[in-house]
Structure 1
Amino acid sequence: MYSVMPRTRRLATLRRSFSLLRALRHEQTRPEFFYRPLAEDTASLISALRSDLVDRPLTGASVLDVGGGPGYFADAFAEKDAWYVPVEPDVGEMAAAGITVPGSVRGDGRSLPFRADTFDVVYSSNVAEHVPDPWAMGEEMLRVTRPGGLTILSYTVWLGPFGGHETGVWEHYVGGDFARRRYESRHGHPPKNVFGESLFNVSCAEGLRWARQVEGATLVAAFPRYHPAWAWWMVRVPLLREFLVSNLVLVLRRR
């Protein structure tokens, strides 16, 4: 069904998986130690996907980052000589790291303030699980992607170990409301990601179904974001994928 993607597979090593997992522990306390390596990994991943699936380098490409946050990714894409534009709905997130990104845009992923057919690559990482209708956002991303370009949607799967985000690795299996209440009782304040308000139950099956049926694009790749390439088969196994994929990457090529 999908391309072999040799460059992308070469990046997906067990060593990389462990490195990103180690960095994850700094997300809340020292975010630069998590987001900077994640940004470099993301730029390399998108560069490899573009080479494998479009047969073009990332150099000179226009890239829209939907939910780019405070701008950790700008330098990583600049090193790839790409034209990078982040769009973020939260002014606080844009300023959180004290980073100013020229050309950054305030906007909602479900109603992007750009004309159709504008960008060579449109991607979103770990945003879909924070909006009540992620597939509306996905369709907006496709709208502003040029014909032949790539739309890359990566999100945290609810039943994976990190589905509850900072509320814990098992509490969300009992329920999102339970995880929120337990977090509040332990820390004395609500979590950043509140279930039902800024965190939602999004499954692998939903994403795959949407990507296969959406009009105007072809699903060209689907794989676990942080797994080594030899574990990508998990996406093809119903139920198992909901617990083990953790973060699903959907890559669509605009027709």
Structure 2
Amino acid sequence: MEPVMPRTRRLATLRRSWSLLRAIRHEQTRPELFYRPLAEDTASLLDALSTDLLGRDLAGASVLDVGGGPGYFAEAFAGLGAWYVPVEPDVGEMAAAGITVPGSVRGDGMALPFRDGSFDVVYSSNVAEHVPQPWAMAEEMLRVTRPGGLMVLSYTVWLGPFGGHETGIWEHYIGGDFARRRYESRHGHPPKNVFGESLFNVSCAEGLRWAAAVPGAELMAAFPRYHPAWAWWLVRVPVLREFLVSNLVVVLRKD
């Protein structure tokens, strides 16, 4: 039976969903208007999950962010008293916003440069769809999670409206290559996320299967990242969830 998770559910309101949806349009033109509220929302979400599932908030906890990007998340986690460590393979991405994060690590999510059981909470947001072997990355995340800690994986589902990222909300339904070519013809340059190279078809069902079967951990929760709590039931409906979940969150507690 899925835990009740009262704090996590209280966060998942329609107002919050609408606010984050409106911010998405700024991702590439004014990224600070998208990533700062997303960072605050992510920190609040992980704090609520830790409180609901482990009985303690993030104060004093070690948090690893796999794919931490340009550093917008550090301040949000510091505000909760967490020790935050981002790991990012792309030096350009780390420096993109001009934000310096002490302790940031350059590394590959497929081979994390940390010992087993190093962090209380390990999470990744909107990264799994950008790597060719997302479940290998997820297993690495679980490896560096301490026993009794949480591993939280959140990713964009391909058949959802944002599966094609900046290439459009319908073009990827025809095909990733079509979406890329149409974007190039309209804008005169390739998209940031190139299908088959830095953007991949990852389904909701794949994530749920992996999370339910991976050894050494218990699946504690699975829900749509940006939906209000009353819409979380969508995750339980095959086919429908591929189109309407948009972004799946799976939460595991390591044995």
> TM-score, length-normalised on structure 1?
1.00
Q: 2:65 & 2:179 partners in 1: Cα distance?
A: 30
Equivalent positions of 1:162-241 (< 5 A) are 162-241=162-241
3-state secondary structure, aligned to 2:72: coil
Partner of 1:221, secondary structure, is: strand
Give the whole-Å Cα distance in 2 for the aligned partners of 1:193 and 1:23: 19
Other-structure match for 1:109: 109
C-alpha distance in 2, partners of 1:240/1:4? Answer: 23
In structure 2, what is the equivalent of residue 16 of structure 1?
16
Pairs within 5 Å for 1:57-76: 57-76=57-76
Aligned partners of 2:194 and 2:218: how far apart in 1?
Answer: 33
Provide the rounded CA distance (Å) in 2 between the counterparts of 1:250 and 1:134: 13
Identity of aligned residues (%): 85
CA distance in 1, matches of 2:67, 2:9: 26
How far the C-alpha of 1:220 sits from its partner, in A, is 0.2
- Structure 1 residue identity aligned to 2:224: P
Moved over 4 A (4+): none
Counterpart AA for 2:80: K
Deviation per CA, 1:14-40: give whole Å up to 9, x if none.
000000011111001000000000000
Unaligned residue ranges in structure 2 (runs of 5+): none
Give the Å deviation of 1:238. Answer: 0.1
Structure 1: 5+ residue runs without aligned partners? none
Inter-partner Cα distance in structure 2 for 1:135 and 1:22: 30
**1:35 and 2:38 equivalent?**
no
- Note the alpha carbon deviations across 1:112-151, whole angstroms, 9 max, x for none: 0000011000000000000000000000000000000000
Is structure 2 residue 16 aligned with structure 1 residue 4? no
Structure 2 matches for 1:129-148, cutoff 5 A? Answer: 129-148=129-148
- The amino acid of 1:222's aligned partner reads A
- Give me the whole-angstrom Cα distance separating, in 2, the residues matched to 1:20 and 1:39: 11
Q: Deviations over 1:167-193 (max 9, x none)?
A: 000000000000000000000000000
User: Structure 1 residue 2: deviation in Å?
Assistant: 1.1
Supply the distance in 1 between the matched residues of 2:164 and 2:202 (Cα, whole angstroms).
11
CA distance in 2, matches of 1:217, 1:134: 17
- Residue type of the partner of 1:43? A
Number of aligned residues: 255
Q: Is 2:84 aligned against 1:81? A: no
Query: Paired residue for 1:55?
Result: 55
Deviation at 1:10, TM superposition (A): 0.1
**1:98-123 CA distances to partner (integer Å, 9 max, x unpaired)?**
00000000000010000001100000
TM-score, with structure 2 as normaliser: 1.00
SS at match of 1:154: strand
Structure 1 Cα separation of the partners of residues 78 and 201 of structure 2: 34
Match in the other structure for 2:26: 26
SS in structure 2 of the partner of residue 222 of structure 1: strand
Task: State the alpha-carbon separation in 2 of the partners of residues 103 and 253 from structure 1.
Answer: 25
Secondary structure at 1:16 match in 2: helix
CA shift for structure 1 position 57: 1.2
Question: For 2:38 and 2:185, how far apart are their aligned partners in 1?
Answer: 31
1:246 positional shift:
0.1
- Partner amino acid for 1:36? R
1:27 and 1:9 mapped to 2: Cα distance?
26
